[in-house]
Structure 1
Amino acid sequence: MWLPIPPDEIEGLPEGPSYRFWDGAEDYPADPADCAFYVVPYMKPSPLCVRPLPRMSSLRVVQTLSAGIDHVEPGLKDLPAGVLLCNARGVHEASTAELTLTLILASLRGVPDFVRAQERGEWLGGFRPALADKNVLIVGYGSIGAAIEDRLVPFEVARVARVARSGRTTERGPVHPLTELPALLPEADVVVLSTPLTETTRGLVDADFLARMKDGALLVNVARGPVVDTEALLVEAEKGRIAAALDVTDPEPLPPGHPLWQAPGVLISPHAGGPTSAFRPRAKRLLTDQLRRFVNQEPLRNVMLTTGMSGA
């Protein structure tokens, strides 16, 4: 079992398996061919994460510590059939939802302007938009999208509209399919992206998507950078027609001198949604539970796909 957290720091690991610590170092901790359960290093580049996969001939489980799995999907073709790919549902919802609300409030209330004014010693008064009474559209209504809505409720928003790949009904109301997105965009004051990165969502926020957003609307991306067409966003931001708060960008990390850094009305955080003090204890709980299930031959949680199956 390869873990990106030292095994002696994780209480409750089941006895029996041999645990090895690997967080992306150049040298492997053991022969990859003997690894049965691979926990992918967290917040590391995709090429590093998939590097050992071609040699993992005995692999049965790939476990990410992120909600997204796009960074390991390129390596799945090198795996034998029947390998389970599991994500970290339950680990990042609270932290990502916290940051989403932070970005929304900071952008609407002009906190970046206040910080810059403070550095100049300037008292910057005036009226600012409030989150109260706004219409919010959440694009990508999985566990993170639902956690975002949980935190929106106390802010007295006028309405929350929800969009996912397919429509369904929840206790809070309908989830609209992606096909209804064009009709919902013009009504939204705040559009939150929390969708996985797939072939369907890559470039979803293109020039047409942005053109449908109302003047003065705020786009918040806590999903993946490539969900947004950066050039199309820059065009709208330079016009000053919409604002944006981005925890993820394309490219990422955003290089020095990139025009997004200086685009008017754009607030950028450095992919800070998941890595908080809440991450490590929740990640450890997930790993101990998954490994216990694996050792006891019980069904694993958060299975996203199985290699060799249709669509994998």
Structure 2
Amino acid sequence: MTSTTADVWLPFPAREIDGLPASFQYRQWDGEEQFPADPADCVFYVTPYMKPPEVVLRPLPLMPKLRVLQTLTAGTDHVLGGIEDLPPGVRLCNARGVHDASTAELALTLTLASLRGVPGMVRGQDREEWHFGFYEALADKAVLIVGYGAVGAAVEDRLAPFECARITRVARSARTTARGPVHALADLPGLLPEADVVILSTPLTDATRGLADAAFLARMKDGALLVNIARGPVVDTGALLAELESGRLRAALDVTDPEPLPAGHPLWHAPHVLITPHVGGSSSAFEPRAKRLLARQLTRFAAGEPVEHTVMITE
């Protein structure tokens, strides 16, 4: 007998999401060993959040009826390894808008903490040391945002009150916005030497993997700060370590390559680096925004309308 069930797999209990259409059977699955139902009945799969790719991808080969693969991350690189297992016509959607506020907040936090020497002060507090001195301000700094999508724009929103000397925007291709021009990636060599702070917020693609390599870092001015809230492999870790150990550059990293950063890795104890454990989107802002996104997407899907934030459609 052929099943007529149309299942939706969610990492949250359906009862916690207001506005879900009643036309589906909702199954909760957040990466547990046992599936909540037969994957063959799933038409809309919301991937577990911050679980490793091998967990997220495990049910995909068993989902022949799937129509929408929805991530809860802005990037979709962690699911691309399972695309070949999907039937034609599946829409891969990202969570544009869910992490903008939280990730931009962390970008600003990392920038301010690094410039003002907060990590050293915290260590000084542990040793009961008074670290008085003059520290750098964000005011009057030239900031370069590499990756001017929703997150990059949210970073600029939060930089705006800090009296930066200049904010320069870079994306895959040039365009004009209400705030000013967005430069193409090809323009980076001429822009890097003018920036005091370089914030990476670009997705991980073939074009951005290893973007911040030895040549990129060499073009940054002496004493500049590199902030990475994108993905670890956007930065060449070996090249960055060389610049940190020479004392020429500083870095604040929410993501690393490898990740999680293993014990004993030299990046942990490199000079002039602040590391947070990939928590840009993991804040109290995540769940409410994620649930609102899912209610909107599923309402559109139930009505036969195109879902939003489609990154690709399988062939």
Shorter-chain TM-score range:
over 0.9
Corresponding residue of 2:81: 74
Once the two structures are superposed, what CA deviation does each residue of 1:240-269 show, in whole Å capped at 9, x if it has no partner? 100000000001111111111000000000
Corresponding residue of 1:121: 128
Deviates further, 216-225 or 294-303: 294-303
Deviates further, 134-143 or 8-17: 8-17
Q: TM-score, normalised by structure 2?
A: 0.97
Once the two structures are superposed, what CA deviation does each residue of 1:206-264 show, in whole Å capped at 9, x if it has no partner? 00000000000000000000000101100000001000000000011111111110000
Where do 1:178-197 residues align within 5 Å?
A: 178-197=185-204
Corresponding residue of 1:268: 275
2:137 pairs, out of 102, 105, 130, with 130
- Whole-angstrom distance in 1 between the partners of 2:144 and 2:18: 40
Paired residue secondary structure (2:202): coil
2:69 pairs, out of 51, 62, 66, with 62
- Whole-angstrom distance in 1 between the partners of 2:285 and 2:58: 28
Where do 1:288-299 residues align within 5 Å?
A: 288-299=295-306
Paired residue secondary structure (1:36): strand
Corresponding residue of 1:32: 39
Corresponding residue of 1:102: 109
Q: Does 1:152 align with 2:159?
A: yes
- Whole-angstrom distance in 1 between the partners of 2:53 and 2:146: 25
- Which amino acid is the alignment partner of residue 26 of structure 1? E
Corresponding residue of 1:172: 179
Q: Does 1:282 align with 2:266?
A: no
- Whole-angstrom distance in 2 between the partners of 1:177 and 1:185: 13
Once the two structures are superposed, what CA deviation does each residue of 1:168-222 show, in whole Å capped at 9, x if it has no partner? 0001111000110010000000000000000000000100000000000000000
Q: Does 1:230 align with 2:237?
A: yes
- Whole-angstrom distance in 1 between the partners of 2:258 and 2:39: 31
Q: Does 1:198 align with 2:205?
A: yes
Runs of 4 or more, structure 1, over 6 Å off, are: none
- Which amino acid is the alignment partner of residue 14 of structure 1? P
- State the Cα RMSD in Å: 0.6
Deviation at 1:35, TM superposition (A): 0.5
Paired residue secondary structure (1:81): coil
- Which amino acid is the alignment partner of residue 22 of structure 1? W
Deviation at 1:45, TM superposition (A): 0.6
- Whole-angstrom distance in 1 between the partners of 2:211 and 2:56: 26
Paired residue secondary structure (1:191): strand
- Which amino acid is the alignment partner of residue 125 of structure 1? F
- Which amino acid is the alignment partner of residue 94 of structure 2? N
Length, aligned pairs only: 308
Paired residue secondary structure (2:274): strand
- Which amino acid is the alignment partner of residue 171 of structure 2? A
- Which amino acid is the alignment partner of residue 30 of structure 2? D
Corresponding residue of 2:223: 216
Deviation at 1:104, TM superposition (A): 0.1
Unaligned 5+ residue runs, structure 1?
none
Corresponding residue of 2:258: 251
Once the two structures are superposed, what CA deviation does each residue of 1:95-136 show, in whole Å capped at 9, x if it has no partner? 000000000000000000000111111110111111000000
Q: TM-score, normalised by structure 1?
A: 0.98
Corresponding residue of 1:90: 97
- Whole-angstrom distance in 1 between the partners of 2:189 and 2:81: 31
Unaligned 5+ residue runs, structure 2?
1-7
